[in-house]
Amino acid sequence: MEITPTSEMSARSSGLALLLDDGTRKSHSVAENTQFVTGFFKGISTKSSFSQLVSSLYFVYEGMERAFEVSTDESVKALDYPELRRLETLAMDMEYYFGSDWRSRVKPSPATKKYVGRIEEIAEREPHLLVAHMYTRYLGDLFGGQMMGGMARSSLKLDEGFGTKFYEFSDIQDTKAFIEGWYEKLNALDLTEEQERAVVDEGNLVFALNIDLFNELEGGKRVVFKTVWKLVKDGLTSRWRGKQRAEFGS
């Protein structure tokens, strides 16, 4: 979701927090306007495509959180909050969509493999860049999680209490205060100007990797087009029937 403007007193109005917010704003907007995301928020999506998104996110978070676990980088350790971890909840959602044997059946897609490969690459070579992955994924999910989860439950007719555990940050009581604290820690990181610029660049790359995921989904152009055409056709049929009833006085 789009990050709202901040007051001058907010940690987001200075330092690396401001650099990341401003430096990735265009990429953020592009990601929000992909066909999958816009269709999702219009209620034009399928359970199949949404489950594919959950699958991709599971493998991405598995790669991220595995990297966080073993990292000795001080920047990563400072921002790695247990409350943000998503792998356990994603595993619950995977079982709901794919069954109890999902671990042996579900494999990462090509775009997902590329995404995870990037995480593994920087974890070994430039671990401070993992901060950009924390920022883009964790804060994005925390900001927009309730809306995404609510839309999925209503539009996809999911079983009560299932399928959107990923979007439930039950250990975070005050989202606004938590995010402000996270940004304060972000601004306090001991990074050079060059490293900060690299983190912003990585943030833009992370958005690009997420856009690749969205564009790869089964709920892309073809499925969305079919769904939109069905809505248009249903509307035309309804209007035609209404006109016929009016003409025949029924």
Contact 202, 132 (CB under 8 A): yes
Contact 203, 136 (CB under 8 A): yes
Is 133 annotated as contributing to ligand binding?
no
Which residue's entry shows tokens 């209404």? Answer: 242
What is the enclosing helix (H) or strand (E) of 21?
helix 15-23
Of the candidates 157, 152, 186, which has an alpha carbon nearest to the alpha carbon of residue 13?
186
Residues 6 or more apart in contact with residue 154 via CB below 8 angstroms = 43
CA of 211: how far to CAs of 145, 147, 194, in Å? 18, 19, 26
Report helix, strand or coil for 1: coil
N-to-C CA span, the chain: 48
Is 128 annotated as contributing to ligand binding?
no
Q: Which residues are annotated as a binding site for heme b?
A: 28, 135
Q: Which residues are annotated as a binding site?
A: 28, 135
